[in-house]
Amino acid sequence: MDLLLIIIPAILIMVSQWYINSSYAKYNEYEVESGITGSKAAREILNANGLSDVKIVKIEGTLTDNFNPTNNTISLSNDIYSGSSVAAIAVAAHECGHVIQHKEKYAPIVMRSALVPVVNIASKLGYAIMIVGVLSSIFNMAIIGLVLMCATLIFQLVTLPTEFDASNRAKKQLIKLGIITKKELPKVSSMLYAAAMTYLASFFASFTQMLRLFLQINRRNN
């Protein structure tokens, strides 16, 4: 059983990474008809939603794109920032979706932001408590530690709707502003779906890891 709970999450992560990388490589080959770059598409979306104060910067890496609400900045990787592919437009618009979520105080994104400091503390403290509990053979302490570690699982669960919602917002904005055509929408949707699957795989991988730890602690107690 333990071996299975190690193999399953490893396979999930590998498959999801293969899926996002292959999808990115595929849709990076398709240029959008408008010829607009990811950074310009992002600026159009932001301006159209009264978010002209949000900065857009270029960063290194591949698919390292993110929105940081603390400094109100969207960071786009090189190919996304300068590229005019379906992949570039989809990813850039997705990050704008997160900005709009913050502006509208979308409940899951507000909850996710509030959980960040809690998760950082709870996961580290929980791991230490669990280890002490296991080494001391104090079952209740080990379980308390594991419960605290599950804060990461809750964080990942709350993240899921924010990612899917950001993608839906992205597609609506791209069509509304004429950045993509309706015939390009299926390709954008496929790219965004592949990205969302990585978050789903991470959640299930974390869940199986917590289940494995619980079974191990329970066996030691018995």
Give the tokens for residue 58.
Answer: 């270029």
Q: How far apart are CA 81 and CA 65, in angstroms?
A: 9
Of 95, 104, 163, 184, which one is the catalytic site residue?
A: 95
Dihedral, 47, 49, 52, 56 alpha carbons, nearest 10: -80
pTM value > 0.85: yes
What is the tens place of the pLDDT at every residue in 190-210?
999 999 999 999 999 999 989
pLDDT band at 1 (very low <50, low <70, confident <90, very high): low
Distance from CA of residue 119 to its chain's centroid? 16
pLDDT for 12 equals: 87
pLDDT for 166 equals: 97
Give the tokens for residue 180.
Answer: 């993509």
Q: Is 95 tagged catalytic?
A: yes
Question: Edge-to-edge strand order for the sheet containing 55-59?
Answer: 55-59, 73-77, 66-68
**Contact in structure between 102 and 66 (CB atoms under 8 Å):** no
Give the tokens for residue 5.
Answer: 């709970």
**Contact in structure between 178 and 32 (CB atoms under 8 Å):** no
